[in-house]
Chains A and B, each alone.
Chain A
Amino acid sequence: MLTTAREQERKARQDRRFVSKETQTAAKYLRRIRELSGAPDGFDTFIDTLGRVYVDMKGADVPQGQKTIGTYCVMVPQELVYAAGAVPVKLCSGNYTAFSVGDDIAPRDACPLVKAVAGFRQTGLMPVYEDCSMMVVPITCDCKKKIAGMLGDRCEVVTMHIPAERGDDEIDRFTEQLYDLTARLEDVTGNRVTYSSLAEGFRRVGRAQYELSEFIRLKKQLPCLIRGTHAMTIMNAAAYMTADKWSEALHRVNSDLRKRAESKKTVTGRKLPRILLTGSPIVFPNMKIPLLIEEMGGIVAGDETCMGERGMYDPPVITDESFDGMMRSLANRSLRPCPCPTFADNSQRIYRLKQLIADNQIQGVIYHVLRGCLVYDFEYRLIEEELGRLGIPVIRLESDYNEEDVEQLRIRIEAFIELIKLGQAPEKRTAPRTGF
């Protein structure tokens, strides 16, 4: 009895320490994001959302009576979750504190994202995780597969098999999986997915995607109208907001950016080195790399990461207005355009990168690899080769979910930015600063 009381006390102390550390880190990163100049109007909504989840430790802002469904990959169609009358939250984690807890549970070589998820599961303190009625885990890599098993003892878990190819048969099979997922969602929420509710789900997510494509179009302008870190924060906040609220908030940001474009009020007058960030997912609060880039005088002009713009970029295209046709369009959208390295042949990612480089006039690419994220690490060589042919400098930054490597990253990023600046014509560097 005594030991249990003591153990309970210890556990409570550990929990308190976890909460205070977790909230401190999150608050620090939010502050650093806030301190960056040039945040657009309406940006606070996104900061508040992240603050609510990570600093105030509250659940996602979900309408009364609706259940939340945790998703661990962008390949889970949000449309289906909305159609079942629930709200999806993205649970891929970037939390340093949870990572340090998960480090003891997961094997050494597991990726930090999965370790952080394992840490949250272990402590059971994070409301966003605890509120979920069900979790959907697409098996995109071995770590995801094992974490799906670990999560299973706390919560109902649905795994989704992600094929290695994207042929017709794979699409058919994935459509079947989506039907199975829909059935599970119906069981959990108690609502039926009908033609009307699915169409409504399409409309809600479509509205968000419409705003996103506007946002991306505005972001392409040079000099930049918005900082990449702000853009990535907006995309990260989408994980914990309903599509309606998010698109409404993004609409405000877009109209502010439009005003900026009209009045030629750019975020930085100087031509900062424009950097494309790609590779493993960058999840709040693990924002150290984009923050470092922008604090070191670069600008994240493009991001190709799945918690970033890629996650919601591709719209489902309905070519057959039946229920089955809509399900198929979701399967098609999830697999075919997805440049995720989980697919055996992923050459389309190179084209996507080339297009982003051309659209945003990228001068350098930073390839982010989370330690242990094998599939992304595998693709680095190919991308380095291809971009080398275009004359675009690339560096590979490996990082973990802690702040020990920050100084190292800072030196490398600074050197990289200097390298790009050296390549620029000198008069461009010294142009007078306007705007902010």
Chain B
Amino acid sequence: MKSRRKLIVTILVCGGLAALAYFSWMLPFYEFDVNDYDVSFEKLFSAEYLRTLVPLFIIAALSAVGIVLVVKLRKQMVKSDRRYSRFADAHTSKQSGRAPKQKPALFMIVRRTVMVVSAVVLIWGGLIFGLKMSSLSLPLLSCPWNSEEMTASSCYYLSHLNELFQLPIKKILLFVGSTAASVILLGRAVCGFICPMGLIQDVMDRLRRRTKTEGIAANEKLYAALTPIKWTLVLVFAGLCFAGGNFCNFCPMVSVSPILAGISTSLYVSGFLMIFVLIGSFFKRRLFCSVCPVGYMVGLFHKVSLFRVKKDCTACTECGACYEACPMGIKQIYTERGKADVTDANCIMCGECVRCCPEDNALSLTFAGAKIYSSSRKKLMSGCEPAEKVRR
């Protein structure tokens, strides 16, 4: 009975999503009088730029309101709960204490820097450096409406397959070649290192950690619920063009990248979705990545990509810290007891599992066989190191 109700709810949600995607052009979020695709450096510093940013401000404001509402609502729920009510005040961010925190690893610094740089390049790159690599495509969710992208992103032609085959053969080859090359070279590391959508979600997650707001803990049920949504999105993503729709009206990224580049483009359902993505990724790290159709497609080829997560199964104590830390909820990383290679289709190579692993060399990230980041207890415990140095 329960599973039946679950099935009906799932079908309704997925059907609703598909319908929303199909009729997305009918639901405007913000419409400009004239869509202006001209961009220049001067425009970025003019008052006009502020006008193009208006939908972004609306999205940010609405998301902030949403987050505050959710936090307030949860606090209300906590206060009325018999067990948790007495701890309602312990949750407040006014507390000055800080939980011990490990020193940032080089890998993490590099990853964050790469993310920021690539986001800048993918949004304003054309303006800064000129459009030199625009015939290459990376499988990202950075919006190709933004004509100033440094490299094109494959998502446009992947979601408009009918248009892809009308291109000249040279362009098709370049598109397929560059996409395939990055899939093999990087795999889903593009999600963890390059994708601007990932950066936005990481920033939201950081905001949550700073405010010491509690998030949604790793839970199999959550991921089980997200899976059908992911498949629906994949179907919609690849099939909408054949049914006469346009995925771009639905894609949340349209509401960020082009607008930041100074392009005023009317937003449809994507604006609403972006609010959901921002609120969702505030509470659940990389929520959208769990349902991202592009990421899913890249993940299909995880067996051939050069980035790998390796595990020393004897050293593992099954403490589950990697699973708790994993933004994608990959459970086999700690339950695996035989294989040395634990790379999963969902793994975005963010290195969180390695950072949180307390066992020396139990987990490591490798690129083409070379270890680039290994777990270490000393690094994990660096927040608890005694202040004074050892006298010799």
Contact = CB atoms under 8 A, between A and B. Distances in A.
Nearest to A255: B390
B96 interface: yes
A366 interface: no
A254 B98 CA distance: 28
Interface string B80-93: 00011011011110
Given A206-B384, A210-B384, A336 B314 contact: no
A320 B209 contact: yes
Chain A contact-residue range equals: 35 or more
Interface stretch (B127-135, B184-192, B239-247, B316-324): B316-324
Most chain A CB atoms below 10 A, which of B100, B318, B378? B100
B220 interface: yes
A326 B99 CA distance: 8
A168 B219 contact: yes
Interface stretch (B8-16, B42-50, B210-218): B210-218
A295 interface: no
Of listed A179, A196, A321, A358, residue having the most chain B CB within 10 A: A321
Interface stretch (A130-138, A197-205, A284-292): A197-205
B95 interface: yes
Interface string B349-392: 00010001010000000000000000001101101111000111
B215 A200 contact: no
B91 A318 contact: no
Given A194-B95, A351-B316, A355-B314, A317 B90 contact: no
Contacts of A100: none
Given A179-B84, A333-B319, A337-B318, A199 B215 contact: no
A39 B179 CA distance: 63
Contacts of A347: 337
Contacts of B97: 194-200
Interface of B: 83-84, 86-87, 89-92, 95-101, 209, 212-215, 217-221, 313-321, 324-325, 334, 337, 352, 356, 358, 377-378, 380-381, 383-386, 390-392
28 contacts: A183-B86, A193-B87, A195-B90, A196-B95, A197-B97, A206-B381, A207-B386, A314-B317, A315-B381, A317-B324, A317-B356, A318-B99, A319-B321, A319-B324, A319-B325, A319-B356, A320-B324, A321-B101, A322-B213, A324-B91, A326-B99, A329-B324, A332-B324, A337-B317, A337-B319, A347-B337, A352-B317, A354-B314
Closest 4 A-B residue pairs measured CB to CB?
A196-B97, A206-B384, A337-B319, A195-B95
Interface of A: 166, 168, 171, 176, 179-180, 182-183, 186, 192-200, 202-203, 206-207, 209-211, 213, 247, 251, 254-255, 258-259, 314-315, 317-326, 328-329, 332-333, 336-337, 339, 347-348, 351-352, 354-355, 358
